[in-house]
Amino acid sequence: MKILALDTATSSCSVAIMDNGVVRAELTSAPNQTHSKHLVTMIDTVCGICRLEIAAMDGFAVTLGPGSFTGLRIGISTIKALAWSLKKPVVGISSLDALAWQSIPGPYPICTLLDARKQEVYCCRYHYENGELKKDGPEQVLALADAISGIRKPCLFVGNGAALYQKEIIDALGALAHFAGRNHDSIRASAVAGLSLNRFMQDQADDVALLIPHYIRKSDAVLHRKKR
């Protein structure tokens, strides 16, 4: 099965093609421009590397969030347009799930942290059980202190929020804090494709008409309207 996967949830942007579980091509970048300026070019590039047309894809996958409101809308609208026009199935994936999934399986629980601005992070905790990634609770947006509270044993931190607040995490947790490394802190589209594969194989695709961003937090515009 050929899957084209996208991630636009943060400042990085990633596109990958997976064919029967093998990553054929992947391109990840962190430009200082909105993703809409280069996403189509990146899609064309990975298709060119694989010598495949978009129409040859059997399905599409994309991160639903949490993350940048604008970035999520760009990625999801792009995938919805492709799925609609080509009549192909689509799967939406949590950006925090993708971060955890792309970390090397190990003995430590995983805490994914994405910068949510306003001194907050999008966060969730995971662990591996018999080689399978398990979620330990809901995805939340919290102040850093709340996001890491209750950690009493070594934990692996991953994500741009982990990189941003690494000093604060070490100050709070000391030797309990371990970090996946900067090359793992950006979401990779290959992880999005890998997570989507089982759902495609089990006919658990999403309804493209109902595919919407998972923001967790309300936008500033909504909050301002409520205040008025």
Query: What was the pLDDT predicted at 105?
Result: 84
Contact status, residue 139 vs residue 121, Cβ threshold 8 Å? no
Contact status, residue 168 vs residue 144, Cβ threshold 8 Å? yes
Same domain, 174 and 214: no
Query: What was the pLDDT predicted at 34?
Result: 79
Query: Residue 174 belongs to a domain with what CATH number?
Result: 3.30.420.40
Contact status, residue 191 vs residue 62, Cβ threshold 8 Å? no
Same domain, 192 and 92: yes
Same domain, 146 and 157: yes
Same domain, 144 and 200: no
Same domain, 53 and 121: no
- CA angle in degrees (0–180, nearest 5) for 3-186-67: 85
Q: Is the dihedral of CA 158, 10, 8, 125 positive or negative?
A: positive
Helices (H), the chain: 39-50, 69-86, 95-101, 144-147, 160-164, 166-173, 189-201, 220-227
How many other C-beta atoms lie within 10 A of the C-beta of residue 52? 17
**pLDDT string in tens for the chain (228-residue length):** 999 999 999 999 999 999 999 999 999 987 667 788 889 999 999 999 999 999 999 999 999 999 999 999 999 999 999 999 999 999 999 999 999 999 888 889 999 999 999 999 999 999 998 888 999 999 999 999 999 999 999 999 999 999 999 999 999 999 999 999 888 899 999 999 999 999 999 999 999 999 999 999 875 444 334 444
